[in-house]
């Protein structure tokens, strides 16, 4: 039990009244009046404390009920919603509620204050932001409820411990899945009408503007009318994603490690590939191939990728690009789009990367994806007012120039290149993949 502020105010008022009685009508304190005032004050205080105790005990049968609603799988780098469903009993309630979320999370609100009418239900909403993947434990719910007379706080905890796992960006994957589903009936239909693709879909009558090369003369002769072949992009292609978890991927960019941005991008690309009917495989490497998940198709494969890749963390090790590419080439003999997600500094430090990506051509279509730090871009284009800022800007400009030189050498070897800020890499990578599919680059 905790007395409320009202109790302390009442006790202070009682003491002031007692002091006034002891000095009434005279500047001197009369011993008789002092004894009377003391007894009255003590009696008054005892009544107030008794009422406080009664107020506290009367509240026990009318406690609030609180239930937490949160997904068991949270997304890294996202504001994950949490709901506390609070229901009052047969009496109105004023309460303070604190949810014991994992200390590693950042929450939008630590404490909730609410007032409920009798039998009313209210949903409190807040968000948590995890910046690391892994398993966490959610604690209990702590409640302070004010008595009906406003004299005592009743404090207790509601057992609500539960395990929570922070995955890669599941919220982003759900949003991407919806976008891809909507695009399927639009972009793919348009590509078929334009005759783009390599896989036969159907025959239809010739219309003005159709490519004459698509006329099926045998079918035309049999049916005595011009018929054209409708082609669509080949569905059973292979997509291999190689994700670097080495030293440069441990750096923090906008609150997450570069590796986490890369993992989100890899899973987004895998989802797009599976959605388009491709076989998708992923390898995670540093000095060796740390994890290899063979290519498969079907949406169930995405669940397997999530479970296998979520526990993996980046390490302070130099990556072996040639070893990773060699392993992937041995595992995948059929032509595939090989996407390597990594980070580069300059052409000198990326010699092995250049050699490894060049080795993939011409059997495979190599695609190098690098995750740029937007703070370097900001520093390079910022105006300077003193010498220190000028030096910082010069370093940033030199880093970008060296980076562009390394990327240019990759392009000279026939490697597709995507260099984008880490927070935007997922969307840009998926968009480029979809363009490759439409253009039948494989």
Ranges of H-type helices in 116-155: none
pLDDT for position 190: 47
By three-state DSSP, how is residue 260 classified?
helix
CA distances to 5, 148, 429 from 9, in Å: 6, 17, 65
> pTM for the complete prediction?
0.82
By three-state DSSP, how is residue 298 classified?
coil
What are the pLDDT digits (tens) for 313-344?
A: 999 999 999 999 999 999 998 999 999 999 99
Decide if pLDDT at 185 tops 60. Answer: no
Angle (CA) 368-277-180 rounded to 5° is 80
What are the pLDDT digits (tens) for 88-143?
A: 988 999 999 999 999 999 999 999 999 999 999 999 999 999 999 999 999 999 99
Report the alpha-carbon distance of residue 278 to residue 138 in Å, rounded: 39
By three-state DSSP, how is residue 132 classified?
coil
DSSP state of 247: G
More confident residue, 403 or 235: 403
Decide if pLDDT at 188 tops 50. Answer: no
Phi, psi of 65 (to 5 degrees): -110, 135
Q: Considering the domain 238-439, what is its CATH architecture?
A: 3-Layer(aba) Sandwich (3.40)
Domain spans in the chain, listed from the N-terminal domain onward = 2-59, 62-167, 170-232, 238-439
CATH fold of 62-167, please?
Immunoglobulin-like (2.60.40)
Decide if pLDDT at 240 tops 50. Answer: yes
Report the alpha-carbon distance of residue 285 to residue 76 in Å, rounded: 21
- DSSP β-bridge partners for residue 82: 126
By three-state DSSP, how is residue 278 classified?
coil
Decide if pLDDT at 254 tops 90. Answer: yes
Q: Mean of the pLDDT values across residues 228-251?
A: 85
Q: Mean of the pLDDT values across residues 404-430?
A: 94
Decide if pLDDT at 29 tops 90. Answer: no
pLDDT for position 197: 53
State the pLDDT confidence band at 192, using cuts at 50, 70 and 90.
very low
Report the alpha-carbon distance of residue 242 to residue 337 in Å, rounded: 11
DSSP state of 225: S
What are the pLDDT digits (tens) for 270-289?
A: 999 999 999 999 999 999 99
Helix (H) or strand (E) holding 251: none
- Secondary structure tally for the chain: helices H, strands E: 12, 22
What are the pLDDT digits (tens) for 31-84?
A: 777 778 788 888 988 999 999 899 889 888 889 999 999 999 999 999 999 999
**Angle separating helix axes 300-309 and 258-275, nearest 10 degrees:** 170
pLDDT for position 253: 95
In this structure, the number of other CB atoms found within 10 A of the CB of residue 31 comes to 9
More confident residue, 116 or 218: 116
- DSSP β-bridge partners for residue 281: 240
DSSP state of 168: S
Please state whether beta strands 416-421 and 365-372 pair in parallel, antiparallel, or not at all (unpaired).
parallel
């Amino acid at each position: 039990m905790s007395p409320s502020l009202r109790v302390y105010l009442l006790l202070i008022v009682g003491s002031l009244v007692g002091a006034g009685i002891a000095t009434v009508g005279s500047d001197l304190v009369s011993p008789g009046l002092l004894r009377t005032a003391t007894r009255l004050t003590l009696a008054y205080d005892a009544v107030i404390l008794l009422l406080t105790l009664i107020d506290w005990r009367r509240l026990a049968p009318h406690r609030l009920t609180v239930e937490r609603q949160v997904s068991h799988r949270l997304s890294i780098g996202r504001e994950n919603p949490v709901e506390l469903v609070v229901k009052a009993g047969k009496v109105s309630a004023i309460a303070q509620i604190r949810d014991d979320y994992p200390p590693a999370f950042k929450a939008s609100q630590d404490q909730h204050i609410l007032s409920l009418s009798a039998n009313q239900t209210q949903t409190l909403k807040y968000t948590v932001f995890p910046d690391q993947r892994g398993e966490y434990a959610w604690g209990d719910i702590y409640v302070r409820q004010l008595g009906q007379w406003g004299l005592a706080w009743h404090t207790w905890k509601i057992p609500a411990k539960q395990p929570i796992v922070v995955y890669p960006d599941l919220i982003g994957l759900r949003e991407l899945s919806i976008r891809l589903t909507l695009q399927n009936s639009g972009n793919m239909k348009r590509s078929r009408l334009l005759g783009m693709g390599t896989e036969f879909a159907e025959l239809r009558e010739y219309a003005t503007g159709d490519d004459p090369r698509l006329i099926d003369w045998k079918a035309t002769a049999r049916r005595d009318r011009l018929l054209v072949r409708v082609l669509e992009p080949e569905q059973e292609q292979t997509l291999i994603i190689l994700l670097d978890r080495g030293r440069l991927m441990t750096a923090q960019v906008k609150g997450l490690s570069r590796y986490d941005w890369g993992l989100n991008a890899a899973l987004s690309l895998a989802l797009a590939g599976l959605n388009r009917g491709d076989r998708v495989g992923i390898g995670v490497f540093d000095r060796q191939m740390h994890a290899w998940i063979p290519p498969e198709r079907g949406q169930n494969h995405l669940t397997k990728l999530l479970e296998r890749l979520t526990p993996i963390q980046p390490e302070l090790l130099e990556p072996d690009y040639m070893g990773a590419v060699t392993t992937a080439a041995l595992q995948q003999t059929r032509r595939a789009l090989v996407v390597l997600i990594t980070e580069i500094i300059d052409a000198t430090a990326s010699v092995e990367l250049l050699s490894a990506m060049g080795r993939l051509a011409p059997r495979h279509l190599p695609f190098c994806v690098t995750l740029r730090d937007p703070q370097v871009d900001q520093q390079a284009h910022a105006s300077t007012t003193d010498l220190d800022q000028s030096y910082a800007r010069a370093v940033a400009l030199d880093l970008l120039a060296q980076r562009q030189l390394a990327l240019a050498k990759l392009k000279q070897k026939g490697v597709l290149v995507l260099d984008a800020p880490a927070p935007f890499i997922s969307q840009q990578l998926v968009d480029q993949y979809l363009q490759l599919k439409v253009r039948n680059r494989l």
